[in-house]
Structure 1
Amino acid sequence: MDTLLDIQGLSAGYGPAPVLRGVDCAVRAGELWVVLGPNGTGKSTLLKSVLGAMPWTRGHIRLLGRERAEWEARALAQNVAWVPQSFEPAEGFSGLELVLMGRSPHLGLWGLTSASDEAVARAVLEELGVAYLAERSCEAMSGGERRMLLLARALVQQPKLLLLDEPTAFLDVAHQVGALERVRARVDKGLGAVAVLHDVNLAAAFATHVLLLRDGHVLAQGPAPEVLQRERLEALYGVPMEMASAPSGARLFAPRARWTAEGR
């Protein structure tokens, strides 16, 4: 499999004390890596460093076999798509217009979209189950609906590598599952993806590989079934955890609440 992202010895962050310290990770085509860890441990910093939006002090980042510094912005956007954690201003745009922005790296000199571009955008909206948002104004959308459009915008870029920072935030359970199902379906066809999540069970359900970050260091990484173990998650989050197996064979994780343990 092709290595799409190769991170070696990465230390990154603003100020004298780096947020990330000596992180190694390699993402190949056909892999969905989920990054888990406490708040403030460097999950978003990792993705922003790959994009070049965060400076790093040590280490190397290679994308599709080339050093990060060698990539021009347009060429990078033709190969790497990004779903940000926060919303961007989108007032005055319809859902379709917002999604079509993802076609920008592939447009010609005048930056005009074609019928083919619109067909790609509408197909992705249909795939994600939000075709009804195409003509709706972004001002009239919920946070979850706009989150789905950000994912659609990234998918219409038709990237080789997809970076997602909390893509399930603001989504109900059905849309969380639907969004990750569509990402995983594309991964199974050769896309590479890295997603920051907070839900361990979503990671267990959809990830091929998992990276555990704590205090800027890699606590563990590798195939999801090997990494997602009760003891490792307890060390990651600092709370007792319970693990159970569903009839389907899926593993389920939950924190062991103190009031439950004490019989209250």
Structure 2
Amino acid sequence: MEPLLCAQGLVAGYGPSPVLQGVDLTVRAGELWAVLGPNGTGKSTLLRGVLGVLPWTRGSVRLLGRERPEWPPRALAQHVAWVPQTFEPAEGFSGLELVLMGRSPHLGLWGLTSERDVALARAVLEELDVGYLADRPGEALSGGERRMLLLARGLVQQPSLLLLDEPTAFLDVAHQVGALARVRARVEAGLGAVAVLHDVNLAAAFATHVVLLRDGRVLAQGPVEAVLERERLEALYGLPMETALAPSGVRLFAPRAR
């Protein structure tokens, strides 16, 4: 099966000093990759480079079997959805209207949404357990509520590949779990996804694969159960870690008190 994403030898950054130092990453349908690493190590840069928002200086990126520079923006947006880390202005829009922006790549010449588009947006809001936000004005949204609407906007886009930059930021524990559970359910139905995360335990619970980035280089990557080991996490974050096995069989990790 053709990978949804294939990045090879990616070198990218801001100004003369690259942040990424030759990163390889291949993502297939049915895989949820978590990107873990210290602050400033290139996690968001990786996603921006893949999208072409941040030009890379060396390497290559293929999306759905096609070189990234060959994709027209509208066609790319019909297949790849981006859930950014930062918020965009929401004032003047309702929650439903913000989510419906995700349908833009699929609309006709006049850019008018149909009853089907509205029904799809409402269904995604209900799926994420935030249907009550449909009529909430943008200026009345909390940070967590905006985060959930950004995720809903990405899902309503109906992509083949979903790229999420810190999708659990600003969310309480219940919504962190709920959001990643819905993404994982979509992945099991054939979606491919890459999520920048800071919580190792969320990665262990929901991701199928993980890539560990440190100083712009891949420290390790592969299936979660093979990569998430105490020694690797200690090398990744530069601090001692404790690990335990939950009754469910999921391994738990925590920094060791000094």
Identify the TM-score tier after normalising by the shorter chain. over 0.9
8 Å contact from structure 1 (residues 41, 213) kept in 2: yes
Quick one: distance in 2 between partners of 1:89 and 1:32?
Answer: 29
* In structure 1, distance between residues paired with 2:131 and 2:9: 43
Aligned sequence identity (%):
82
1:32 touches 1:207 (CA, 8 Å); kept in 2?
A: yes
Matches within 5 A, 1:15-164: 15-164=15-164
- 1:219 equivalent to 2:219? Answer yes
Q: How many Å apart are 1:240 and its aligned residue?
A: 0.1
Counterpart residue number, 1:261 = none
Retained in 2: the 8 A contact 1:81–1:161? yes
SS of 1:164 mapped into structure 2: strand
Q: Which residue of 1 aligns with 2:229?
A: 229
Whether contact under 8 Å (1:91, 1:138) holds in the other structure is yes
* Equivalence for 1:204: 204
Distance 1:67 1:11 in 2: 16
Q: List alignment gaps of at least 5 residues for structure 1.
A: 259-264
Shift of 1:257: 1.4
Shift of 1:15: 1.6
Q: What SS class does the counterpart of residue 7 from structure 1 fall into?
A: strand
SS at match of 1:58: strand
Deviation per residue, 1:36-74 (Å, 9 max, x gap): 000000000000011111111100000000000000000
Q: How many equivalent pairs are there?
A: 258
Instruction: State how far apart, in whole Å, the 2-side matches of 1:2 and 1:62 are.
Output: 10
Provide the rounded CA distance (Å) in 2 between the counterparts of 1:247 and 1:28: 30
**Contact in 2 for aligned 1:164/1:196 (Cα 8 Å):** yes
The residue identity in structure 2 corresponding to 1:254 is A
Q: CA RMSD in A?
A: 0.5
1:256 and 1:222 mapped to 2: Cα distance?
25
Tell me the CA shift for residue 255 of structure 1.
Answer: 0.2
Asked if the contact 1:80–1:161 (Cα under 8 Å) also holds between the matched residues in 2, the reply is yes
Contact 1:102–1:153 (8 Å) recurs in 2: yes
On the 8 A contact 1:164/1:194 being kept in 2, the answer is yes
SS at match of 2:14: coil
Deviations 1:55-106 (A, max 9, x none): 1110000000000000000000000001100100011000000000000000
Residue identity opposite 1:97 in structure 2: E
Contact 1:11 1:21 in 2 (8 A): yes
Whole-Å Cα distance in 2 between the matches of residues 127 and 246 of structure 1?
A: 28
How far off is 1:247 after superposition? 1.2
Per the TM alignment, residue 2 of structure 1 is displaced from its structure 2 partner at its CA by 3.5
TM-score by length of 2: 0.99
Q: Which blocks of at least 5 consecutive residues in structure 2 are unaligned? A: none
Shift of 1:254: 0.1
The one-letter code sitting in structure 2 at the alignment partner of 1:117 is: D
Query: 2:239 is aligned with what amino acid?
Result: V
CA distance in 1, matches of 2:85, 2:100: 19
Which residue number corresponds to residue 262 of structure 1?
none
Classify the secondary structure of the residue corresponding to 2:254: strand
Contact preservation (8 Å) 1:14, 1:55: no
